[in-house]
Amino acid sequence: MQTDHIFPPSRLVPQAADLLRLVQNALVRACMDTRFKRLVGWRGFAVCPEPIGAATLRLTGRPGIYGIVPDGCDADGEIGFARFGLHYFPLVGEPLFESLSPAAAVLIAAPEFRARVRNFPAHPELIGPFAIGVLTVGFGRHKDVLSLTLETCEHHRVVSVAGLRAADGAVVVPPGGVEQDVPARALAEDLLDVLACAVTACVGEPPRLLHADSAPADEIVREADGGWHARRCDDNRRLLRTIAWGEVGTLDLDHLRLDGATATETWTAATGAPPPATVAAALWWRTHALDALLAEGAHPEAADRRPSLIVLCGFLGSGKTTLVNQVIEHHRNHDQFVAVIQNEIGAESVDAHLVEESDSVESLDEGCICCTLAGSLAKGAQRLIDRYHPERIVLETTGLANPMNLVDELATLSDLVRLDVMVTVVDADNVLAALATSAVAREQIRGGDVLVLNKCDLVDAAALAAVRGHLRALNDRAPILETCFARIHPALLLGDVDDLPDAAPVADPAADVAAHVAPALACCGGAHHAGAADHHHEHHHEHDHHDHTAREHHPGSHRDGGDGEGAAGHARHDHRADGFVAIRLPQPPGLSRDALFERLAGSPGRAFRIKGIVDLVDGPGPEALQCVGARRELAPLPSVYEGAPFLIFIGQDLDRAALTAHWLPAVAPARDERVPVRA
């Protein structure tokens, strides 16, 4: 078993701090391969200031934030063990919110909730209500065995004897009704599976032992006076699940037993028996052989090694470098790496010194990349890929570059990068003068897939309307995203669907929640009760540390405070407040290439980005669809795709019903039909 990736090779015997950092080390090492991150849906983590081993984590498919915090460590035996409490902090908009108690909802509605989640170990009021289980990490003294053990229950349920009523007498929870019912097992096992994938990838071999116990579980009964007690229930189970690698014969299975277990199952590789059918398809059997796993074609989203390329244009002084720093911050908070190619006319780059990750900036100076430096882009991209293996590359062109002149060269880079989007940053205060005197300024706007209209705070409403009119006259297909201080959520530019809501957001989610739950909370005594009942609560919050700060590099600039207003009093710009959503629909069957493009042209709403995997009747098979502004692209997938084709629409104030009516009626197939029309 290889342990050098997760344990200091110079240290002979594991210490407590090593056990506490083992999970984080495994994730960091495994995620150095971007294919692993895409495969398991890893979206990053942030280390909490203290204690050692505490962190917040995010997974694709779970809108909320996971929290992990140490809860004891013993490194003195032949096998050392570290225990961690697992927590999940949901978002207001996800369906899980309906399963929460009113007291939990009030905690989430507090304005300071997001800031507290970032450092949740320092806030005891968050530890109990959001708990979903306990993770125990075991590591052999001789570095020969490693285990992950999850203890949780199917549901964290609270029953209210007296029920809950609102101030107007409306019944919120009927007497004897369920106040809270959170699917703790599903939440905790999602995280365990990703951690197990990371361990397999790091130790270089699959697990050699699986063990599972289950026993009857309790539910919490809350009395009318606020007291509580536990009672046995028939439809809930306590569960213990262990996955182990290496010399598993040294593990004491008694240590892995669940008290009161009524069912148990143990599998070891030494018996030669096949793994249990319930986990036979788990990814953590095979992440040590990632090349072979991805070559089978079952996970095309993870197989492409190429970084995406974002081309950032804009006239002199429009705010491009500020936007670059926004993109860098977005990736940092998602545990991702972005590299930058900066082109500046002059013998030495100035803007490169303004980029926060300046060591990963490739400067192409002494000329303009769209003319005198044509051909240098491929070399610069290759150097960054070889050195940093970035997940995205941002090309920030000189303020005088014409994006139209880059199109041919970008087409030659398809083996190195995937062209994602061309963004043009526009200075609202100076753009009309630039358009009147510069053909390049006009071409930059014509060439943009997305127009970021910056510095809107410097012009009045009439001037802003005039600017919009000029932009629309030059480019009537690209969306116009208006902002100040280049504060635009990078997910809107990058097509990161997981950072966008799937339905129209509430204007003020916190206020909406508080208005509904505060009266009910008052009826049950006001404050959230402490004690064991708190360990049966799950909750929601809005996006945590993934709302980002704008960094201006000119006099008079300010930084957003992160949760509210910036130092200069400017409210944080958040894509949800602008009505941006992502909607996924199945691709209609029997769709031809011409029919697809016709439907794209007439698609309702303000979808400025459409992506997905389509299977056209006159196509070669499943293809990747990318539409940004007026640019549309169909590209072959790097491996076999066997899932259902789909479309994702990202835009502002999109109407799901209108999109469904436009896309889902049956489409007449092309003559060379390969797929029958479905009724």
Q: Domain coordinates of the chain in residue numbers?
A: 16-153+180-216+237-301, 304-499, 580-663
Mean predicted confidence (pLDDT) in 265-285: 92
In Å, what is the CA distance from 75 to each residue of 83, 142, 243, 245?
11, 12, 19, 18
Residues in the chain: 679
- Helix/strand/coil percentages in the chain, nearest 5: 30, 30, 40
| pLDDT given at position 366 | 47
pLDDT at 509 over 50: no
pLDDT at 40 over 70: yes
Tokens of 214: 């289950």
| pLDDT given at position 409 | 75
| pLDDT given at position 360 | 55
Indicate the range of 13-17, 349-353, 490-494, 670-674 predicted with least confidence. 349-353
Mean predicted confidence (pLDDT) in 575-591: 71
Q: Between these two residues, 673 and 344, which has the higher pLDDT value?
A: 344
| pLDDT given at position 131 | 92
| pLDDT given at position 628 | 65
| pLDDT given at position 147 | 95
The most confident of the ranges 39-43, 543-547, 628-632, 649-653 is: 39-43
What percent of the chain stands above pLDDT 70? Answer: 78
Express each pLDDT in 414-434 by its tens digit.
Answer: 888 888 888 999 999 889 988
Q: Between these two residues, 621 and 521, which has the higher pLDDT value?
A: 621
| pLDDT given at position 384 | 84
Mean predicted confidence (pLDDT) in 507-526: 39
pLDDT at 473 over 70: yes
Q: Tell whether omega for the bond before 51 is within 30 degrees of 0, i.e. cis.
A: yes
Sorted by sequence, the CB contacts under 8 Å of residue 313 that are 6+ apart come out as 320, 397, 401, 403, 422, 423, 424, 425, 444, 447, 448
| pLDDT given at position 94 | 76
| Under 8 Å between Cβ of 83 and 151 | no
Q: Between these two residues, 243 and 360, which has the higher pLDDT value?
A: 243
Please work out, in degrees rounded to the nearest 5, the angle formed at the alpha carbon of residue 450 by the alpha carbons of 444 and 452. 80
| Under 8 Å between Cβ of 321 and 353 | no
d(CA 679, CA 669): 12
pLDDT at 551 over 80: no
Express each pLDDT in 340-351 by its tens digit.
Answer: 887 754 333 334
As a whole number, the mean pLDDT across the chain is 77
| Under 8 Å between Cβ of 145 and 247 | yes
Mean predicted confidence (pLDDT) in 293-301: 79
| pLDDT given at position 574 | 35
d(CA 151, CA 256): 10
Express each pLDDT in 593-619 by its tens digit.
Answer: 999 999 998 888 867 678 788 899 998
Please work out, in degrees rounded to the nearest 5, the angle formed at the alpha carbon of residue 614 by the alpha carbons of 613 and 616. 160
DSSP assignment letter at 257: P
Mean predicted confidence (pLDDT) in 82-110: 84
Indicate the range of 91-105, 258-272, 430-444 predicted with least confidence. 91-105
pLDDT at 204 over 90: yes
- Write down the pTM of the prediction: 0.64
| pLDDT given at position 580 | 57
| pLDDT given at position 518 | 41
pLDDT at 644 over 90: no
Indicate the range of 19-33, 64-78, 190-204, 295-309 predicted with least confidence. 295-309
Q: Which amino acid is at 290?
A: L
| pLDDT given at position 541 | 29
Which of 648, 613, 647, 620 has its CA nearest to residue 299? 613
| pLDDT given at position 501 | 45
Region of 115 on the Ramachandran plot (φ > 0 left; ψ -120 to 50 alpha; else beta): alpha
Please report which confidence band the pLDDT of residue 107 belongs to, taking 50, 70 and 90 as the band edges: confident
| Under 8 Å between Cβ of 423 and 449 | yes
| pLDDT given at position 192 | 96
Tokens of 522: 């008052």
CATH of domain 580-663: 3.30.1220.10
pLDDT at 317 over 60: yes
Mean predicted confidence (pLDDT) in 304-317: 83
Indicate the range of 334-343, 437-446, 509-518 predicted with least confidence. 509-518
Which of 480, 475, 425 has its CA nearest to residue 446? 475
CATH of domain 304-499: 3.40.50.300
| pLDDT given at position 372 | 47
pLDDT at 568 over 70: no
Positive or negative: CA dihedral 13, 145, 22, 55? negative
| pLDDT given at position 504 | 35
Tokens of 116: 């507290």
Indicate the range of 144-158, 506-520, 648-662 predicted with least confidence. 506-520
The most confident of the ranges 98-112, 458-472, 534-548, 600-614 is: 458-472
Pair type for strands 171-173 and 164-165: antiparallel
